[in-house]
């Protein structure tokens, strides 16, 4: 392993070389053309036959600190292009409130690709799927409850129009014709897989894209290889491409593209190098052999290909999506891709590079090495406060009162957690059934009565629960939004208590609803104080059940001095913890759920760590902390140097049948 100085010098030289290359290209913008040749069945770049070998990288899943590292590794694999989605909800978190800086600086990301000599295939949405919350559509669209997403619904179109009017003018100067790297722009995404099949909507998008980007840019669509999908997903004037993975019949797939596009380049816009995961299902893998043999054949066809993903990255914070019947995706989006979640070179990377080398020139010179990882070791956490004790910090404006429960959208909380509180209307000294008869807990509720944990309700899995308590006791349900459905008909995924709860036969009423601002609260945790030294006796809260009250825990660790290369990336492991959310120095790393798996550790990128002061880990454990009622167990997390995202599943998969019917898997 070289010293950082060597690496920096190497990167600098490579960058300088690449800069010179692209500067030459920029010299005369008016000479730059990128178009489809229907005569020669290919793309033409500056009038020359051109074929792209591309890989997907999602800037929104990688801290900008690491963008250049990942792009450079992609360049060195022999790719001449990269492909990214643009998730609308990442850039417009609230109506009219835009974010385009730091990790959201998509223009900077595209410029970086350009500086490295990579072309860019832009999938601009508005819908992107991507295993991303609501497929990239902002949750606030659901404020009109009956909205038909991805259709000509006028309210939907008005919001889309406004968004495209912000995004596309930023992209215009980055188009190839205008001196930038963007060669093609995708409109919508696998639209044929959606039930609406609304050509007016596609025509509307086509007009707006043309209006903002001009006549020259190649606009395209992508659909699965099925006649019906291509019918509903494509439109005259948008070049139709297909997506398929290893093992598919390539001849059949491209014949199908030829149905829609009798002439022009063959394009596989998503060639799957791996596959997505769900909590509670085994980690997906695709063998290197399967990937390379198909890739070889696609390239031998002379086709253009984009490998989805080339590097997957991470669903930080609350950004993961879900499939139906409801199954949420984990925090890691490793995807078994050629570059790992942490950007590491894998055997698949080198094998893919070897295949590319048979068809194209691969850059000479050393490949940037995998980043070193460091095991900082065990960190003891102290319990700070339960969510209930911290309500004044989590919800300073106080609760919203409502006879019946309101959804997250109705209280303008889009992500994270809302606490629903009412009182028991009658004595429940004997176990009494609390139930969500319409499966209306979206997605998971941590239930307590007078601060005694009662259990968990979970969408599609657990809709009844016995509780006990006296009349007038406080019933709390902390409801977690585990990520909105990103694919298929059920995109309109409302969160919270979306229907009434009953206690015995009676509908519960008179709710106090606390939308929780966890991010601000975590920032101010310093002033909360702790409960002792990491040993915590949870006498009252633990009760006889297996649950502890949802609570915040915090602890500090310092980066060892005297090791010059630190800080380095690491992975956080949760021995004995159950399910929750974790922050380091205020950066929301995402959800952990070792009790369900298969992901056991979370990626911690080094740029969030500091050497000047201790690093603070905050954990919100929702279900059961490892500190025992005997007071002997410590609340420990551990920072390790190897990821575990494919643990064997240990939990009871009694209701796994629900998951095995995942329509995503049948879509082709
Ligand atoms: C740029 O290219 C155009 C078209 O080939 C040509 O007319 C023009 O003179 C060139 N300009 C420069 C500065 O080279
Ligand atoms: C692949 O598809 C082509 C065209 O539909 C067909 O002729 C061929 O038999 C298929 N190959 C296999 C192995 O199924
Ligand atoms: C609730 O408690 C009753 C009485 O103890 C018991 O018969 C029933 O099986 C329990 N139901 C559930 C869902 O736990
Ligand atoms: C709850 O029940 C009441 C009375 O039947 C009904 O009016 C209301 O719409 C229901 N609320 C929800 C969220 O289902
Ligand atoms: C607690 O969990 C353990 C293991 O998951 C299980 O064996 C035990 O029955 C549970 N106890 C109660 C009271 O639910
Ligand atoms: C962590 O360190 C900070 C100072 O950097 C201190 O304010 C805080 O109390 C410490 N937290 C814990 C849980 O030890």
Q: What integer pLDDT is reported at residue 639 of this predicted model?
A: 98
Q: Is the confidence at residue 529, as pLDDT, over 70? A: no
CA 633 to chain centre: 34
**Is residue 464 lining ligand 2, measured as CB closer than 6 Å?**
no
Position with higher pLDDT, 23 vs 95: 95
Q: What integer pLDDT is reported at residue 540 of this predicted model?
A: 40
- Between CA 602 and CA 133 the distance in angstroms is 19
Q: What integer pLDDT is reported at residue 664 of this predicted model?
A: 36
Q: Please check whether residue 238 is in contact with residue 196, taking contact to mean a CB–CB distance below 8 angstroms.
A: no
Residue burial 290-322, b: 16+ Cβ < 10 Å; e: rest: ebbebbbebbeeebbbbbbbbbbbbbbbbbbbb
Residue range 54-76: mean pLDDT, rounded:
98
Q: Is the confidence at residue 662, as pLDDT, over 60? A: no
Bridge partners (DSSP) listed for residue 458? 444, 462
Tens of pLDDT, residue by residue over 235-279, are: 999 999 999 999 999 999 999 999 999 999 999 999 999 999 999
Q: Please check whether residue 577 is in contact with residue 547, taking contact to mean a CB–CB distance below 8 angstroms.
A: no
Q: Are strands 34-37 and 322-323 parallel, antiparallel or unpaired?
A: unpaired
Q: Please check whether residue 331 is in contact with residue 602, taking contact to mean a CB–CB distance below 8 angstroms.
A: yes
CA distances from 592 to 51, 508, 572, 653 (A): 41, 32, 9, 19
Residue range 514-538: mean pLDDT, rounded:
70
Q: What integer pLDDT is reported at residue 546 of this predicted model?
A: 82
| Ligand 3, CB within 6 Å, residue ranges | 431, 464, 466
CA distances from 317 to 136, 482, 534, 610 (A): 15, 11, 26, 20
Q: What integer pLDDT is reported at residue 518 of this predicted model?
A: 97
What's the pLDDT band for 666 if we cut at 50, 70, 90?
Answer: very low
Active-site pick, 270, 341, 388, 621: 270
Residue range 62-81: mean pLDDT, rounded:
98
Q: What integer pLDDT is reported at residue 524 of this predicted model?
A: 84
**Is residue 252 lining ligand 2, measured as CB closer than 6 Å?**
yes
What's the pLDDT band for 403 if we cut at 50, 70, 90?
Answer: very high
Q: Please check whether residue 214 is in contact with residue 168, taking contact to mean a CB–CB distance below 8 angstroms.
A: no
Structure tokens at 250: 């390539």
Tens of pLDDT, residue by residue over 119-149, are: 999 999 999 999 999 999 999 999 999 999 9
Q: What integer pLDDT is reported at residue 31 of this predicted model?
A: 86
% of residues, the chain, pLDDT over 90: 86
Q: Is the confidence at residue 653, as pLDDT, over 70? A: no
State in Å: Cα 464 to ligand 3 middle.
10
Q: Which ligand is nearest to the CA of 534?
A: 6
Name the closest-CA residue to atom 8, ligand 4.
404
User: What is the chain's mean pLDDT, rounded?
Assistant: 92
Residue range 461-467: mean pLDDT, rounded:
96
Q: What integer pLDDT is reported at residue 655 of this predicted model?
A: 43
**Which of 49-53, 172-176, 489-493 has the lowest average pLDDT?**
489-493
- Between CA 455 and CA 438 the distance in angstroms is 19
Name the closest-CA residue to atom 7, ligand 4.
404
Rounded to 5°, angle at Cα 309 from 188 and 217: 40
Name the closest-CA residue to atom 13, ligand 6.
555
Bridge partners (DSSP) listed for residue 590? 582
Handedness of CA 262, 267, 271, 276 (dihedral sign): negative
Tens of pLDDT, residue by residue over 561-608, are: 989 899 999 999 999 999 999 999 999 999 999 999 999 999 999 999
State in Å: Cα 251 to ligand 2 middle.
6
Q: Burial of 432 by CB count in 10 Å (0-12 exposed, 13-18 middle, 19+ buried)?
A: middle
Name the closest-CA residue to atom 5, ligand 3.
431
Q: What integer pLDDT is reported at residue 73 of this predicted model?
A: 98
Q: Which ligand is nearest to the CA of 650?
A: 5
Residue range 43-51: mean pLDDT, rounded:
97
Structure tokens at 85: 């989605």
Cis peptide before 586 (omega within 30 of 0): no
Name the closest-CA residue to atom 11, ligand 1.
28
Active site residue 480: no
State in Å: Cα 502 to ligand 3 middle.
15
State in Å: Cα 455 to ligand 5 middle.
12
Q: What integer pLDDT is reported at residue 18 of this predicted model?
A: 59
Active site residue 190: yes
State in Å: Cα 526 to ligand 6 middle.
6
Q: Is the confidence at residue 2, as pLDDT, over 80? A: no
Residue range 272-301: mean pLDDT, rounded:
97
Q: What integer pLDDT is reported at residue 668 of this predicted model?
A: 26
Length of the chain: 668
What torsion do the CA atoms of 197, 199, 200, 203 make, to the nearest 10 degrees?
130
Structure tokens at 289: 């052999």
Tens of pLDDT, residue by residue over 86-114, are: 999 999 999 999 999 999 999 999 999 99
Q: Please check whether residue 401 is in contact with residue 511, taking contact to mean a CB–CB distance below 8 angstroms.
A: yes
The stretches of 172-284 forming alpha helices (DSSP H) are 199-213, 227-233, 250-260
Which ligand 6 atom is nearest residue 381's CA? 13
- Between CA 596 and CA 655 the distance in angstroms is 13
Rg of the chain's alpha carbons, rounded to an integer?
A: 26
Its pTM stands at: 0.91
Q: What integer pLDDT is reported at residue 656 of this predicted model?
A: 39
DSSP state of 526: G
Residue range 398-409: mean pLDDT, rounded:
98
Name the closest-CA residue to atom 9, ligand 3.
466
State in Å: Cα 424 to ligand 4 middle.
18
State in Å: Cα 410 to ligand 4 middle.
14
Q: Please choose, from the candidates 5, 2, 24, the residue with its C-alpha nearest in 3D space to the C-alpha of residue 13.
A: 5
**Is residue 650 lining ligand 5, measured as CB closer than 6 Å?**
no
**Is residue 28 lining ligand 1, measured as CB closer than 6 Å?**
yes
Neighbours of 332 (CB within 10 A): 29
Q: Are strands 81-85 and 53-57 parallel, antiparallel or unpaired?
A: parallel
Structure tokens at 327: 């199954």
**Is residue 530 lining ligand 6, measured as CB closer than 6 Å?**
yes
Q: Which ligand is nearest to the CA of 431?
A: 3
Residue burial 636-659, b: 16+ Cβ < 10 Å; e: rest: bbbbbeebbbbeebeeeeeeeeeb
Tens of pLDDT, residue by residue over 358-388, are: 999 999 989 999 999 999 999 999 999 999 9
Q: Which ligand is nearest to the CA of 179?
A: 1
What's the pLDDT band for 661 if we cut at 50, 70, 90?
Answer: very low
Look at residue 402 and give its three-state secondary structure: strand
**Is residue 37 lining ligand 4, measured as CB closer than 6 Å?**
no
**Which of 248-252, 258-262, 450-454, 632-636 has the lowest average pLDDT?**
632-636
**Is residue 527 lining ligand 6, measured as CB closer than 6 Å?**
no
Q: Is the confidence at residue 658, as pLDDT, over 50? A: no
Q: What integer pLDDT is reported at residue 74 of this predicted model?
A: 98
Q: Are strands 48-50 and 34-37 parallel, antiparallel or unpaired?
A: unpaired
**Is residue 556 lining ligand 6, measured as CB closer than 6 Å?**
yes
State in Å: Cα 29 to ligand 1 middle.
8
Look at residue 13 and give its three-state secondary structure: helix
Q: Please choose, from the candidates 515, 492, 639, the residue with its C-alpha nearest in 3D space to the C-alpha of residue 570.
A: 639
Q: What integer pLDDT is reported at residue 14 of this predicted model?
A: 64
**Which of 9-18, 173-182, 229-238, 295-304 has the lowest average pLDDT?**
9-18
Q: Is the confidence at residue 19, as pLDDT, over 80? A: no
What's the pLDDT band for 316 if we cut at 50, 70, 90?
Answer: very high
Name the closest-CA residue to atom 14, ligand 1.
28
Q: Is the confidence at residue 631, as pLDDT, over 70? A: no
**Is residue 545 lining ligand 5, measured as CB closer than 6 Å?**
yes
């Amino acid at each position: 392993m070289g010293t950082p100085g060597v690496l920096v010098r190497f990167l600098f030289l490579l960058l300088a070389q690449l800069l010179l290359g692209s500067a030459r290209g920029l010299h005369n913008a008016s000479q730059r053309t990128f178009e489809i040749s229907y005569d020669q069945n290919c793309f033409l770049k500056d009038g020359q036959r051109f074929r792209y070998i591309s890989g997907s990288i999602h800037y929104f899943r990688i801290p900008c600190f690491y963008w250049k590292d990942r792009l450079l590794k992609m360049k060195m694999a022999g790719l001449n292009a990269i492909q990214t989605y643009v998730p609308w909800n990442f850039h417009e978190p609230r109506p009219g409130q835009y974010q385009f800086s730091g990790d959201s600086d998509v223009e900077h990301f595209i410029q970086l690709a350009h500086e490295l000599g990579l072309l860019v295939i832009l999938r601009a949405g508005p819908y992107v799927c991507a295993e991303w919350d609501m497929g990239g559509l902002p949750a606030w669209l659901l404020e009109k409850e009956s909205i038909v997403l991805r259709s000509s619904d006028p309210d939907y179109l008005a919001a889309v129009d406004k968004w495209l009017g912000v995004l596309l003018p930023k992209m215009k100067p980055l188009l190839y014709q205008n001196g930038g790297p963007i060669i093609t722009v995708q409109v919508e995404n696998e639209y044929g897989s959606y039930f609406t099949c609304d050509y007016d909507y596609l025509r509307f998008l086509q007009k707006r894209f043309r209006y903002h980007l001009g006549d020259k840019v190649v606009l395209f669509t992508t659909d699965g290889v099925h006649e019906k999908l291509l019918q509903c997903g494509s439109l005259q004037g948008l070049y139709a491409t297909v997506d398929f993975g290893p093992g598919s019949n390539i001849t059949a797939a491209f014949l199908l593209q030829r149905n829609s596009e009798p002439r022009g380049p063959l394009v596989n816009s998503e060639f799957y190098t791996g596959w997505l995961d769900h909590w509670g299902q085994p980690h997906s893998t695709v063998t290197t052999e399967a990937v390379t043999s198909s890739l070889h054949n696609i390239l031998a066809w002379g086709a253009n290909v984009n490998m989805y993903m080339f590097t997957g990255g991470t669903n930080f914070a609350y950004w993961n999506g879900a499939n139906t019947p409801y199954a949420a995706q984990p925090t890691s989006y490793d995807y078994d891709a050629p570059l790992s979640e942490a950007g590491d070179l894998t055997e698949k990377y080198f094998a893919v590079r070897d295949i590319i080398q048979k068809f194209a020139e691969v850059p000479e010179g050393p490949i940037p090495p995998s980043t070193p990882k460091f095991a900082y070791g065990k960190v003891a956490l102290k319990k700070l406060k339960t969510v209930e004790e911290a309500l004044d910090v989590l919800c300073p404006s106080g609760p919203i009162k409502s006879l019946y429960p309101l959804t997250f959208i109705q209280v303008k909380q889009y992500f994270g957690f809302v606490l629903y509180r009412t009182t028991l209307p009658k004595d429940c000294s004997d176990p009494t059934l609390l139930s969500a008869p319409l499966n209306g807990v979206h997605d998971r509720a941590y239930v307590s009565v007078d601060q005694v944990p009662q259990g968990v309700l979970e969408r599609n899995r657990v809709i009844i629960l016995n509780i006990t308590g006296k009349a007038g006791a406080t019933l709390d349900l902390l409801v977690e939004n585990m990520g909105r459905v990103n694919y298929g008909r059920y995109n309109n995924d409302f969160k919270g208590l979306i229907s009434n709860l009953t206690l015995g036969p009676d509908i519960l009423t008179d709710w106090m609803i606390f939308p929780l601002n966890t991010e601000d609260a975590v920032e101010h945790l310093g002033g909360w104080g702790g409960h002792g030294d990491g040993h915590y006796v949870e006498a009252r809260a633990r009760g006889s059940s297996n649950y502890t009250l949802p609570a915040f825990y915090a602890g500090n660790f310092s980066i060892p001095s005297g090791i010059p290369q630190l800080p380095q990336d690491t992975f956080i492991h949760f021995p004995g913890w159950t399910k929750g959310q974790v922050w380091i120095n205020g950066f929301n790393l995402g959800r952990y759920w070792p009790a369900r798996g298969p992901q056991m550790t979370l990626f911690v990128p080094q740029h969030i760590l500091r050497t000047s002061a201790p690093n603070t880990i905050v954990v919100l454990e929702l279900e059961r902390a490892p500190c025992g009622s005997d007071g002997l167990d410590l609340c420990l997390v551990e920072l390790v140097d190897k990821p575990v995202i494919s643990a064997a599943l240990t939990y009871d998969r009694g209701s796994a049948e629900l998951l095995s019917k995942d329509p995503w898997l049948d879509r082709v």
